[in-house]
A and B are shown apart, each in its own frame.
Chain A
Amino acid sequence: MLAYYMRLALRSFGRNPGITALMVLAIALGIAVCVMTLTVYHAMSGNPIWWKNDRLYAVTMDNWDPKQSYRRNSTLPPPEMTYQDTQHLFRSDIPRRKVIMYATDGVVSGAGNVPAAHVSTRVTTADFFAMFEAPFLYGGGWGAGADDPAQPLIVLSRAENQKLFGGVNSVGRTLRWNDHEFRVAGVLDDWFPRPRFFDLNGGSFGEPEKAFIPFGWGAQLELLNDEETDCWKPEKLDTFRDFMASDCVWLQMWVELPDAASRERMQSFMDGYWAEQHKAGRFQRPRDNRLTNVSGWLRDNRVVDNDNRVLVGLAFAFLAVCLINTVGLLLAKFLNGAPVTGVRRALGASRRHIFFQHLVEVAVLSVLGAVLGLGLAALGLAAVHHLYASAHLYQRGGYQELMHFDAVGVLWAVILALAATLAAGLYPAWRVGRLPPAVYLKSQ
Chain B
Amino acid sequence: MSVPVRPILSALLRNRTGAVLVAMQIAIALAVLVNALYIVVQRAEKMGRPTGIDVDNVMVIASAGFTERFQTVPSIQEDLAYLRALPGVVAASVTGSIPLSDGGSNNPLLTNPEAHAGENYNALEIDEQGLAALGVHLVAGRNFTHEEIQPPLTKLDASRFVPEIIVSRALAERLFPHQSPLGKRVYDPLRQSATIVGVVDPVMGCFPSSDHPDWVYFLPRYPYAFGGSLVYLVRTQPGQRAALMRVVEQHLAKSNPDRVIDWVRPLNYFRDLTYLGDRSMEIYLITVTALMIAVTCLGIFALATFNVSTRTKQIGTRRAVGARRRDIVQYFLVENGLVTGAGVIVGCALALATGYYLSLQYALPRLNLYFLVGGVLLLWATGQLAAWQPARRAAAVPPSVATRTV
User: Interface residues, chain A, CB within 8 Å of chain B?
Assistant: 18-19, 22, 25-26, 29, 33, 65, 67, 105-107, 109, 115-118, 178-179, 221-224, 226, 232-240, 242-243, 305-307, 309-311, 314-315, 317-318, 320-322, 324-325, 327-329, 331-333, 336, 384, 388, 391-393, 395-396, 399, 431
Contacts and interface: CB of A to CB of B under 8 A. Distances in A.
Interface string B41-62: 0000000000000000000000
A332 B260 contact: no
B80 to A, nearest CB: 21
Contacts of A18: 302
B276 A393 contact: yes
Given A234-B117, A238-B157, A329-B299, A307 B281 contact: yes
B357 to A, nearest CB: 9
A29 B159 contact: no
B284 interface: yes
A315 B66 contact: no
Nearest to B26: A321
B303 interface: yes
Among B157, B229, B291, which residue has the most Cβ atoms of chain A within 10 A? B291
Given A234-B117, A238-B158, A333-B306, A26 B36 contact: no
A238 to B, nearest CB: 5
Interface string B326-349: 000000000000000000000000
Interface string B240-275: 000000000000000000001010000001001100
23 contacts: A67-B117, A116-B66, A118-B64, A178-B66, A222-B226, A224-B227, A237-B159, A306-B361, A317-B32, A317-B292, A318-B32, A320-B28, A321-B29, A321-B32, A322-B295, A324-B24, A332-B303, A332-B307, A332-B310, A384-B280, A396-B276, A399-B276, A431-B17
B273 A393 contact: yes
Given A178-B66, A239-B155, A311 B284 contact: yes
Contacts of A221: 227
B190 interface: yes
B36 A314 contact: yes
Contacts of B87: none
B291 to A, nearest CB: 6
A226 B280 CA distance: 27
Interface string B15-45: 0011001101100110110001001000000
Among A221, A307, A320, A331, which residue has the most Cβ atoms of chain B within 10 A? A307
Contacts of A240: 155
A400 to B, nearest CB: 10
Contact of A310 (B25, B306, B358): B358
A242 B64 CA distance: 25
B288 A315 contact: yes
A331 B190 contact: no
A314 B227 CA distance: 47
B178 interface: no
Contact of B227 (A25, A178, A306): A178
B75 to A, nearest CB: 14
Contacts, number: 152
A237 B157 CA distance: 8
Contacts of B307: 332
A222 B155 contact: yes
Contact of A331 (B18, B273, B298, B363): B18
Give 8 nearest A-B pairs by CB, closest first: A234-B189, A107-B66, A328-B21, A325-B299, A306-B362, A179-B67, A332-B306, A116-B260
A395 B291 contact: no
Interface in B117-135: 117
A188 B41 CA distance: 46
B36 to A, nearest CB: 7
Among A235, A236, A310, which residue has the most Cβ atoms of chain B within 10 A? A310
B277 interface: yes
Interface residues of B, number: 59
Given A117-B262, A179-B66, A399-B276, A314 B32 contact: yes
B353 to A, nearest CB: 13
B6 interface: no
B158 A332 contact: no
Contacts of B191: 234
A395 B24 CA distance: 43
A338 B296 CA distance: 25
B298 A328 contact: no
B277 A223 contact: no
A117 B62 CA distance: 12
Contacts of B310: 332, 336
Given A19-B306, A306-B362, A317-B28, A26 B260 contact: no
Among A117, A233, A242, which residue has the most Cβ atoms of chain B within 10 A? A117
Contacts of B260: 107, 115-118
Interface string B281-307: 100110010011001101100110011
Contacts of B22: 328
Contacts of B39: 310
A309 B362 contact: yes
B365 interface: no
A311 B284 CA distance: 8
A243 B157 CA distance: 12
A317 B158 CA distance: 55
B156 A238 contact: yes
Given A238-B159, A321-B296, A332-B18, A310 B362 contact: yes
B302 A19 contact: yes
Contacts of A322: 295
A398 to B, nearest CB: 12
B146 interface: no
Contact of A106 (B17, B18, B66, B156): B66
Contacts of A318: 32, 288, 291-292
A223 B227 CA distance: 8
Nearest to A177: B66
Contact of A327 (B21, B226, B281, B296): B21
A435 to B, nearest CB: 13
A25 to B, nearest CB: 8
A340 to B, nearest CB: 14
B288 A22 contact: no
A391 B29 CA distance: 33
Contacts of B226: 222, 224
Contacts of A307: 277, 281
Contacts of B306: 19, 329, 332-333, 336
Given A178-B66, A328-B22, A22 B299 contact: yes
Contacts of A117: 260, 262
Contacts of B28: 317, 320-321, 324
B68 interface: yes
A307 B282 CA distance: 10
Among A325, A333, A336, A393, which residue has the most Cβ atoms of chain B within 10 A? A325
Interface in B196-236: 226-229
Contacts of B358: 310
Given A239-B155, A331-B17, A22 B190 contact: no
Nearest to B301: A22
A222 B226 CA distance: 8
Nearest to A66: B116
